[in-house]
Structure formats: structure tokens, C-alpha cells
Amino acid sequence: MILMSIRDLIPKDKHDLDAVRKIKQHSANEINDILPELFEWLQDINWPVAGELTKILPQFGDILLPHIRTVLRSNDPQWQFSLLQFLIRELPRDTSLQLTDAIQRIADTPTQAEMLEEVHILAKEMLRDT
């Protein structure tokens, strides 16, 4: 199948693993415009496409940083937890170290929502493991 557009790589539903697997055939520059939509699929780690994305996206390294930072500043602790637990841990070390300040903020001054979802505990564990 010839892709009509890079947008064809955005999953159509939570089971669209074919679209996700095709992402690894592209460069960081090629997928940059669809990263916001791809990150939305990481909001629920139980979706099949989310697990597959956490395996594929780390290869793109630093280009992910602005999107990860946006989520870590968001008011969605479950999304934050998913990124911390399943995506950030898989990033190349030099990329993940650039997120230390954002992770430190969650560990040191968590919001009430982050405390309720225990995101701050995960953040502390990750900082301890670096």
C-alpha cells in the first residue's frame, strides 16, 4: 500500500497496529507533524496501539521532548504516569536525562491529582534510578 499522506500513520482506532508499525519506517522529520496525535494515543496505556507506540517512538529521541514536556505539565496524571512508566524509561539515556527537571518538578511539588494517582512516587523512583 502506498501512503497517501504521513497522516495515514495516525491510528484510526485503538487496534490499528498496522499504522503504528509503519511509523518505524519513517524519519523523525517525517513524523514530526503527527506527533501530537500519536501522543494522544498514549493517554490510555491499555489501548493496544499505546503499547506498540511506546516501543517504536523512543527511536526518534530528542524530537519527542517538547511533546513529553507538554504531557508532564498537563493536568492528566494518568497520561503522565503512562509516559513516565512506559515511554520515558525506553528513551535513549541522553534524551531521558533532558527530562530530569520536569520529572523533578513532579517528584518535589506534585499537584493534588498527581499525588492521587501516585505519579510523584513513580517520578521519585525514576530519579533514584538515573
6-129: CATH number: 1.25.40.750
pLDDT tens-digit readout, 5-18:
899 999 999 999 99
Q: How many CA atoms lie within 13 A of 129 on its CB side?
A: 13
- Percentage of the chain surpassing pLDDT 70? 97
Helical ranges in 1-130 per DSSP H:
17-23, 28-31, 35-40, 48-56, 65-72, 77-82, 93-96, 100-108, 112-116, 119-129
Q: pTM for this one?
A: 0.93
